[in-house]
Amino acid sequence: MHYDAARRRLWIYGQRCHHGATGAVLAAAGAVVTAPALVATGAVLMAHDWHDRTVWFKRGWQNQP
């Protein structure tokens, strides 16, 4: 696990953890267990990080600005 404090980015096993990807997982989990608050939280995270959607699940360190 690596955290870049200057850019506020987290990597786990070399995979960058984006807000949007995390939001997609939370929204899907909330839909499965019928938890509206979890779905809403996931939707907010995805909306916040929508501009980076092309790299949410891209492998590697992703040194984009």
Burial (CB count within 10 angstroms: exposed 0-12, middle 13-18, buried 19+), residue 17: middle
pLDDT given at position 32: 92
Q: Please state the domain extents for the chain.
A: 19-54
Helix 36-48 to helix 19-32 angle (10° resolution) is: 160
Predicted model pTM: 0.64
In single-letter form, the type of residue at position 19 comes to H
Instruction: Find out whether 13 and 24 touch, Cβ atoms under 8 Å.
Output: no
DSSP H or E stretch at residue 2: strand 2-4
Digit-coded pLDDT (tens) for 16-54: 777 778 888 889 888 999 899 989 988 988 888 888 788
The larger pLDDT score, comparing residue 9 to residue 36, is at 36
10 pLDDT more than 60:
yes
